[in-house]
Amino acid sequence: MREKVEFTAVWDDDLNSLLESLGVLAEMTAGKANCVNCGRQVNIDNLGTIIPTIELVNFTCDDAFCVQSVTSREPVTSSG
């Protein structure tokens, strides 16, 4: 049985709880999260993609190019 987590499908009401569960909600609301592609500050309003890695969580802004730069390369899957 395959498990696949699509973070792009989680939005709006679930977004806050998702960010909190990842431990980055405070970081984001404090303006300390930046797009890994262009470096722009990312907040709830312009969040494009959430990229959980082993030790930290990266983000992109909602710029189509930034989203595509990460989503087209490596699909986000759950390692369990």
Distance, CA of 36 to CA of 49 (rounded, Å): 10
Does 70 interact with Zn ion (rule: CB under 5 A)? no
**In the complex, least distance from residue 59 CB atom to Zn ion, rounded to whole angstroms:** 9
> x-or-dash pattern for Zn ion, window 8-27, by CB under 5 A?
--------------------
Does 62 interact with Zn ion (rule: CB under 5 A)? no
Does 38 interact with Zn ion (rule: CB under 5 A)? yes
Contacts made by residues 63-67, CB under 8 angstroms, sequence distance 24+: 63/35, 63/37, 63/38, 65/37, 66/35, 66/37, 66/38
**In the complex, least distance from residue 29 CB atom to Zn ion, rounded to whole angstroms:** 18
CB nearer to Zn ion: pick between 17 and 39: 39
Q: What is the DSSP letter of 30?
A: T
